[in-house]
């Protein structure tokens, strides 16, 4: 079963995010109180713990939010989801808008290891249905 392992926010851009007990998501906004919120195509970032584990296997001690991801997942291959995929997570519904992103040249993880998983394995989404998302919430792909 696919599920949420952690939810994270940051109050300023360009910093690691930190775990919180839950996140509230709003249409045309993203995550309430997150620095990256706004009416744009990358309202929420998701990264699979399986991708994080790839980096941990290189000897890094990583925590939720270290890749600036908002939602850490388990049991779903995020990087293979087509753009437009709709995900039911907790009370909310998200739509995948982008797979990966250009890595910041000053990324600490890339400096340490020479690689980073977020540019190829992280995904971004917008909010279609508002709600609250908690760790342990089930993630389901909405088939149309």
pLDDT tens per residue, range 16-28 = 899 999 999 999 9
pTM score of the predicted model? 0.92
The Cα 53–Cα 14 span in angstroms is 22
Q: Is the alpha carbon torsion for 124, 127, 129, 131 positive or negative?
A: positive
pLDDT tens digits along 70-92: 999 999 999 999 999 999 999 99
Residue carrying the six token digits 């690691």? 16
Q: Where are the domains of the chain?
A: 3-142
Distance set, CA 46 to CA 16, 52, 70, 77, 101 (Å): 14, 11, 6, 11, 12
CATH number of 3-142: 2.40.33.20
């Amino acid at each position: 079963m696919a599920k949420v392992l952690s939810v994270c926010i940051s109050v300023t851009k360009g910093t690691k995010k930190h775990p919180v007990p839950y996140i509230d998501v709003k249409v045309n906004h993203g995550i309430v109180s997150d620095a990256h919120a706004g009416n744009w195509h990358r309202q929420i970032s998701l990264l699979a713990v399986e991708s994080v584990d790839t980096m941990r296997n290189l000897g890094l001690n990583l925590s939720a939010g270290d890749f600036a991801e908002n939602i850490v997942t388990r049991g779903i291959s995020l990087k293979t989801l087509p753009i437009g995929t709709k995900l039911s997570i907790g009370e909310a519904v998200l739509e995948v808008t982008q797979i990966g992103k250009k890595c910041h040249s000053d990324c600490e993880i890339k400096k340490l290891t020479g690689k980073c998983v977020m540019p190829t394995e992280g995904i971004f989404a917008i909010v279609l249905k508002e709600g609250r998302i908690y760790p342990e919430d089930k993630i389901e792909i909405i088939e149309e």
